[in-house]
Amino acid sequence: MAKNKWLLLVSSLGVLVLLVTAAVQENLLLEWQQIQAQARAEDGPIPVQLRQVVNPTLRTADRCVSCHVAMGPGEQAVTGPMMAAHRPVVHDPAEFGCTTCHGGQGRATTKIDAHGAAEFWPEPMLPPAMSEAGCGTCHTQADVPHRAAFNLAAATFARLDCASCHRVDGRGGTLRPDAGGMEGPDLSRVGIAGWNREWYAAHLAQAKSAVSGPWQSFRPIADDDRGRVDAFLATRVGAPRLMAAKSVFLSSGCLGCHKVNGVGGDEGPDLTRAGEKDPARLDYASVPGGRSLANWFRAHVRAPSTVVAGSLMPAMRMPDADVEALTFFTLSLRRRVVPGTYLPRDRMRVERFGAREFAADGTTLFGAFCAGCHGAEGEGRRAPGMKPFPAVAHPDFMSLASDALVAETIRRGRPGTRMRAWADGSTGLTDADVTALVQELRRMSGTRAPAESRPARWAKGDPAEGGRLFAGACSGCHGAKGEGSEAPALANPVLLEHATDTFFAETIKRGRPGTAMHGFAQPSTVHRALSDAEVEAIVSFIRTLGGRS
């Protein structure tokens, strides 16, 4: 029975060879072992061992420092390939670990797994250029303004030359040799830490009593500019790029269709935790670049329906910088559950005390909720396959529409269109917001509420006659029963309830320059001029639409 012995011999030797190979692989050839073998501390080679940052409260066990040794606690002095110490940051990496901010897989000890490029890792690292998106894991900054206000505030801060004394976001505040070494405090994080609201009076007093040095150069600041400086300081939370990106998000009308933290419309998916989307579950068929969440968002913002088949989101046609900003901000929507002791104040304000992420002024509200469909300037939009979105800031519209009509339209929406009811309690908009939006539309259109001399209902024309005229002149665009197709629906209860006869009559007569709506008081190549009586008849007919005969 020698063949059984041979079997035993060969199998045993085979096992031995495999085990030796495995032992060599495990003990000598691992990636981090080879990296650490090349690293040097002040007193020679460092011990080659697994290193990690553990924080049981945050549930991190980050072995990143097994390769990035110098980033580990107390190892700044280690030199060698890949060895760079972390720049000083508010959250000590020795306490918070790496993945809390940077994402990725802290438990892994190989590059491909740790950085998350491998399959089945739900959370790859954030792109290095977008590291600040990691702040969104725990933080939620409230009251961020529209990009216009944001940029204006930043420009004001720059124009006033505050950075000559103060350091902000790693810039400015150079030491002055003739100034006794003093410089203003670092303002990079005052948006969280708070700042003296009486700073202007304090600066003035200092400037008055100064005989030499930088205080002398302090000049009085206009009230408007002071407000902008305060607005700028409010956004200094140590994440300047993220705040800028958020202001772009709040100017692109995304909340009109998407919810973030319970505020916004629900045409599109809730974005509250969009940054945690599992990249492995996305379709990259039409995504240029690598298979990363950032690339997917980029492509998606540019051409939603090519990335997600059947997406109702119109292509946004934005400059590349805005696409980057939206990608950046969307990546920051992570909102991890944060244990109590680590829950930051800003997040607590937003999640528990009803603070909102956007400033409540009309410009920001319009930018955040309306600009997506109605255009950044309220100029209206057309998107393939969709009814045109009306130019709500059109002066001809706003000068005829009463505040009540506009407000009520926002509150109750336009059934049958993508304009939803915004005051039904599910969107996070309040009555005060609606009022602010109406005022914003007045500001954008440069109009005032129409002074009404006639009663709301004065048209006494013959509806039958009006119907005949309507069929001829209006139904092509507004539909035979005013249901709307190319042009807005007229058989709309909110419109019929709140629009005055003057609104209808004047709109018919003057038209909407810049849209397909002609003024019917003048003849054109396709229609004759309508008389006042005919207009009145049409108005009477319109009043019969929508089942309200």
Partner 1 sequence: MTVKPGTPVSRLDPEQIPRRDALGLLSLWSMATALLFATVGMLRLPKAAVLASPSKKVKVQLPETLADGEPFVPPGRSMAVFRQAGQVYAISTVCTHLGCIVKASAGGFACPCHGSEFEADGTVRKGPAPRPLDWLEVSTSGGALVVNEGATVKPGTKVNV
Partner 2 sequence: MSDGPAPASALQEFRDNLLAVPGRIVATAFRSGRPVTDRARSSFVFGNVFLHLHAARTHRWSLRWATTAGLGIASVAAFLITLVTGVMLMFYYKPYTDVAYDSIKDIHFVVPTGRFMRNIHRWAANIMVVTVILHMARAFYTAAYRAPREFNWLIGLALLVTTLGLSFTGYLLPWDQLAYWAITIGANIAQSPREVTDAIGITATFDIGGLQRMLLLGSDIVGEEALIRFYLLHVMLLPLVIAALMAVHFWRVRKDGGLTKPADVNARMGPAPSDVYPVFSEMPAKTYHLAAVVKGRSPAVDGGPEQTVPSMPHLFYAELGVTMLTLFVCTALAMVSDAPLKELANPMVPENPAKAPWYFLGLQELVAFSAFMGGIGIPMIVLVGLGLIPYLDREREGTGDWCGGPGGWPLVQRSIAFGFSASLIVETIVIRYGWLREWFPDIPQLVITAVNPGTVITAIYAAYSLWLVRRYNSTRAGALGLFTCFLCGFVVLTVIGTYFRGPNWQFYWSPSDWPGH
Residues that bind partner 1 (CB under 8 A): 2, 5-6, 8-9, 11-13, 15-16, 19-20, 22-23, 49-56, 61, 63, 73-74, 94-95
> In the block, which residue shows the tokens 């073998």?
37
Residue with smaller CB distance to partner 2, 122 or 290 = 122
If DSSP states are collapsed to H, E and C, what string results for 320-346?
HHHHHHHHHHHHCCCCCCCCHHHCCHH
Query: Is residue 303 near partner 2 by the rule CB under 8 A?
Result: no
What span, in angstroms and rounded, lies between the C-alpha atoms of 374 and 388? 9
Tokens matching residue 74:
């107390």
CB of residue 73 to partner 1, shortest distance in Å: 6
Residue with smaller CB distance to partner 2, 1 or 526 = 1
Instruction: Name every residue whose Cβ is closer than 8 Å to that of residue 294 and which is 6 or more positions away in sequence.
Output: 126, 127, 130, 327, 331
CA distances from 472 to 469, 477, 521, 527, 530 (A): 5, 11, 15, 9, 12
Q: Select the binding partner of residue 73 from partner 1, partner 2, none (C-beta < 5 to 8 A, by kind).
A: partner 1
- Backbone angle region of 188, left / alpha / beta, with phi > 0 → left and psi within -120 to 50 → alpha: alpha
Q: Are 449 and 368 in contact (CB under 8 A)?
A: no
Q: DSSP class of residue 436?
A: H
Query: Is residue 34 near partner 2 by the rule CB under 8 A?
Result: no
CB of residue 6 to partner 1, shortest distance in Å: 7
Residue with smaller CB distance to partner 2, 62 or 357 = 62
Interface of this chain with partner 2, residues 283 to 302, rule: CB under 8 A: 283-285
CB of residue 95 to partner 1, shortest distance in Å: 7
Tokens matching residue 49:
């061992």
Distance of CA 504 to the CA centre of its chain: 37
CB of residue 5 to partner 1, shortest distance in Å: 5
Residue with smaller CB distance to partner 1, 50 or 480 = 50
Residue with smaller CB distance to partner 1, 54 or 201 = 54
CB of residue 121 to partner 1, shortest distance in Å: 20
Q: How many residues bind partner 2 (CB under 8 A)?
A: 37
Q: DSSP class of residue 370?
A: I
Query: Is residue 14 near partner 2 by the rule CB under 8 A?
Result: yes
Q: Are 451 and 379 in contact (CB under 8 A)?
A: no
Please give the angle made by the CA atoms of 256, 257 and 258, to the nearest 5 degrees. Answer: 105
Residue with smaller CB distance to partner 1, 57 or 524 = 57
Q: Select the binding partner of residue 120 from partner 1, partner 2, none (C-beta < 5 to 8 A, by kind).
A: partner 2
Q: Are 416 and 489 in contact (CB under 8 A)?
A: yes
What span, in angstroms and rounded, lies between the C-alpha atoms of 134 and 242? 9
State whether residue 102 is helix, strand or coil: helix
Among 48, 61, 94, 383, binds partner 2 (CB under 8 A): 61
Q: Select the binding partner of residue 418 from partner 2, partner 1, none (C-beta < 5 to 8 A, by kind).
A: none
Among 20, 24, 26, 321, binds partner 2 (CB under 8 A): 26
Q: Select the binding partner of residue 49 from partner 2, partner 1, none (C-beta < 5 to 8 A, by kind).
A: partner 1
Q: Are 206 and 214 in contact (CB under 8 A)?
A: no
Query: Is residue 110 near partner 2 by the rule CB under 8 A?
Result: yes
CB of residue 304 to partner 2, shortest distance in Å: 15
Residue with smaller CB distance to partner 1, 51 or 300 = 51
Instruction: Name every residue whose Cβ is closer than 8 Å to that of residue 486 and which is 6 or more positions away in sequence.
Output: 387, 388, 476, 477, 516
Residue with smaller CB distance to partner 1, 58 or 473 = 58
Query: Is residue 107 near partner 2 by the rule CB under 8 A?
Result: yes
Residue with smaller CB distance to partner 1, 74 or 181 = 74
Residue-wise DSSP of 13-55: HHHHHHHHHHHHHHHH--HHHHHHHH-EETTEEPP-----EEE
Which residues contact partner 2 (rule: CB under 8 A)?
Answer: 1-5, 7-8, 11-12, 14-15, 18-19, 21-22, 26, 50, 52, 59, 61, 63, 105, 107-110, 113, 120-122, 278, 280-285
